[in-house]
Amino acid sequence: MTPPSTRLVAAAPRWRLPDPIDEGAARALSAELHLPLALGRMLLARGVTAGAPARAHLRPLLTALHPPESLPDLDRAADRVEAAITDGETILVHGDYDVDGIAGTALLAGWLRRLGGRVHPWVPHRLRDGYDLGPSGVARAREVGASLIVTVDCGIVAHDAVATAREAGIDVVVTDHHTPADTLPDAVAVVNPNRTDRPAPEGVLCGTGVAFKLVQLLARRRGIAFEDLLPDLDLVALATIADLVPLTGDNRVLVRYGLRALERTRRPGLRALMKVVEMPDGEVGAGQVGFRLAPRINALGRLDEPVDAVTLLLTHDPDEARRLAEKAETVNRARREEDRRTLDEVLCRLESDYDPDRDFGVVVDGEGWHPGVIGIVASRVVERIHRPVVLLARNGDRARGSGRSVPGFHLHAALGRCAALLHRFGGHRQAAGLDLDCSRIDDFRAAFNAVARADLEGTDLRPEIRADLQLELPAADLDLAHLFRHLGPHGMGNPRPVFWSCGLTVRGTPREVGTGHLKLRLEQGGATRDAIGFGLVERHDPARLIGRTVDAVYHLEVNEYRGRRTPQLRLLDLRVPDGAER
């Protein structure tokens, strides 16, 4: 289904322009650190004003990691796992079917085997088993004769399943990072940095990050040097980037070293996947992980057999690795088609049903939608309307939903205020999943909208672009692009630098490339730069930009074509002072 020509147009973002930089402070910081002035200005713009924090930001070190014992219950979890290994018990490592749960399952299962454990890694199938630790997970533990279940990236609200397991004589250790309920499950240990009764100093680790802390403690107890764990940071980086947790604190350290581990990963599965997606040899960036590797693993986990995704990360067989990597690519192509079909249908529905003055929280339901893609589609819809969105895939008399939020709206807490209408829900501030009866969809739609209205009414519901520094176009060169790579890795909590330039002249003939992408050339002070803005044709007619003067906010990147490297502006938005927007 193709949306009508009057389809929703993404709202024009508001710009938050930078305050003037204190040049004296920037020069002093640059001199203290022996850095170029431009980098000193950027650090100052990001609120890093002193030498020691600046050094830690530019060069995060493994010695800065918090000790694993700072996580609540980690000692108890390690005690129970060690006892299971010593006594020859069978351990079921129970993950989740997203990248975080799959990577964490592979990491923990691999290490428990290395420590001598009898381990069965298992991830529930989204359609057959549902999400989280549930009846299928307990049944699987019984089937393999496990006396201990260790969860990864799930379990924090699985009270009934934990109780059922314990009644069957199966202990449960929960390791998770999602938001806890008012009470914790009655497990042997509940390891979660977001426990309100014992918050951890690490901040928001992903599920694989929590599992790594458990591995770190177990390895140390066995006298294994921390350096022996570094190759496994490839999985921690993969999961941390894919799960969109803030790249600050421990996460920043783990991802910095994890990207290095990815560059030389010993995992045949990851090497095969890198080959399939045609990643170049050499340095691996967070963007390559988030947009090339993670979606393929996610596709296997959400649309196909998640056990294949775990096997891809665990196998030592190059032939099996190649076969599974090629399968991941095939499934991901199907996922993209399903994404497009579902998004088109949702946008068509919103064309007639959505009223921005009425709808502060949007709930759309549909028959035949794949539960594995609706979270991704919900993110696309949020990008367009900048409202919290829940999509519900109806199947018989039940519906499974995925939600995505906007800054300033705590999605998990909002669902908690609608809990009487739901069978269950889980997640965190920005993303969540839920189940409910189809007969309650209309009531949930009204309740969710009322909660969102109460929290968001009177706020400016547009996306915001925060510029870090004003820049003259001649300064946007290759040297500057390379220099600012030292601020990475970039992602949630540490976004790529955003520059603002005003008074740029459009040269030549702007054009549309691909589907809705704006390609043009900008000039200022004798310097010209190529620029591309994804999706900007929707708001800027290329023909009306010819010869205009524009202001721009953008990332500065390096474009490589036929061996030639040139600076390029990745446009986030344009403003035309004389009103040439569409």
Instruction: Kindly report, residue by residue over 440-460, the tens digit of the pLDDT.
Output: 999 999 999 999 999 999 999
Q: Whole-angstrom Cα distance, residue 356 to residue 353?
A: 10
Q: What is the average per-residue pLDDT within 515-540?
A: 94
Task: Check residue 278 and give left, alpha or beta (phi > 0: left; psi -120 to 50: alpha).
Answer: left
Q: Whole-angstrom Cα distance, residue 206 to residue 198?
A: 17
Q: What is the dihedral of CA 23, 28, 33, 38, to 10 degrees?
A: 10
pLDDT at 126 exceeding the cut of 50: yes
pLDDT at 267: 97
Segments of the chain assigned to CATH 2.40.50.460: 14-18+468-575
Q: Whole-angstrom Cα distance, residue 293 to residue 314?
A: 16
The secondary structure of residue 384, as a DSSP letter, is: H
Q: Whole-angstrom Cα distance, residue 403 to residue 397?
A: 20
Q: Tens digit of pLDDT for each residue in 219-273?
A: 999 999 999 999 999 999 999 999 989 999 999 999 999 999 999 999 999 999 9
The closest of 176, 240, 199 to 489, measured between CA atoms, is: 240
Using CA atoms, how far residue 149 sits from 59, 77, 141, 313, in Å, is 38, 11, 7, 21
pLDDT at 4 exceeding the cut of 60: no
Average pLDDT, the chain: 93
pLDDT-derived band at 543 (thresholds 50, 70, 90) equals very high
Q: Tens digit of pLDDT for each residue in 366-417?
A: 998 998 899 999 999 999 999 999 999 999 999 999 999 999 999 999 999 9
Q: Whole-angstrom Cα distance, residue 338 to residue 161?
A: 32
Q: Tens digit of pLDDT for each residue in 65-114?
A: 999 999 999 999 999 999 999 999 999 999 999 999 999 999 999 999 99
Segments of the chain assigned to CATH 3.10.310.30: 338-456
The closest of 259, 439, 469 to 365, measured between CA atoms, is: 439
Q: Whole-angstrom Cα distance, residue 104 to residue 99?
A: 8
Using CA atoms, how far residue 59 sits from 30, 46, 53, 487, 488, in Å, is 15, 16, 10, 9, 10
Alpha helices in 315-373 (DSSP H): 318-353
Q: Whole-angstrom Cα distance, residue 314 to residue 259?
A: 18
Decide: 304 and 343 in contact? Cβ < 8 Å. no
pLDDT at 11: 66
CA 503 to chain centre: 35
Decide: 397 and 365 in contact? Cβ < 8 Å. no
Segments of the chain assigned to CATH 3.90.1640.30: 68-315
The closest of 208, 197, 214 to 77, measured between CA atoms, is: 214
Q: Per residue in 267-288, is it b (16+ CB within 10 Å) or e — as a string? A: bbbbbbbbebbebeeeebbbeb
pLDDT at 2 exceeding the cut of 50: no
Q: Give the percent of the chain with pLDDT over 70.
A: 97
E strand or H helix at 462, and its extent?
A: none
Structure tokens at 269: 């599965």
pLDDT-derived band at 281 (thresholds 50, 70, 90) equals confident
CATH class of 14-18+468-575: mainly beta
Intra-chain end-to-end CA distance of the chain, in Å? 25
When the candidates are 3.40.1350.10, 3.90.1640.30, 3.40.190.80, 2.60.40.10, the CATH number that belongs to 68-315 is 3.90.1640.30
β-strands 389-395, 362-367 pairing: parallel
Q: Whole-angstrom Cα distance, residue 551 to residue 276?
A: 39
pLDDT at 162: 98
pLDDT-derived band at 131 (thresholds 50, 70, 90) equals confident
Structure tokens at 105: 């399952």
The closest of 130, 129, 140 to 93, measured between CA atoms, is: 140
Q: Per residue in 405-421, is it b (16+ CB within 10 Å) or e — as a string? A: bbeebbbbebbbebeeb
Structure tokens at 555: 């990332």
CATH class of 338-456: alpha beta
pLDDT-derived band at 280 (thresholds 50, 70, 90) equals confident
pLDDT at 579 exceeding the cut of 60: no
pLDDT at 493: 87
User: What phi and psi, each to the nearest 5 degrees, are found at residue 89?
Assistant: -70, 155
pLDDT at 581 exceeding the cut of 70: no
pLDDT at 137 exceeding the cut of 60: yes
Q: What is the average per-residue pLDDT within 483-511?
A: 93
pLDDT at 6 exceeding the cut of 80: no
pLDDT at 578: 65
Decide: 434 and 424 in contact? Cβ < 8 Å. yes
pLDDT at 3: 40
pLDDT at 282: 84
pLDDT at 72: 95
pLDDT at 7: 44
Q: Tens digit of pLDDT for each residue in 182-197?
A: 999 999 999 999 998 8
Q: Whole-angstrom Cα distance, residue 271 to residue 261?
A: 12
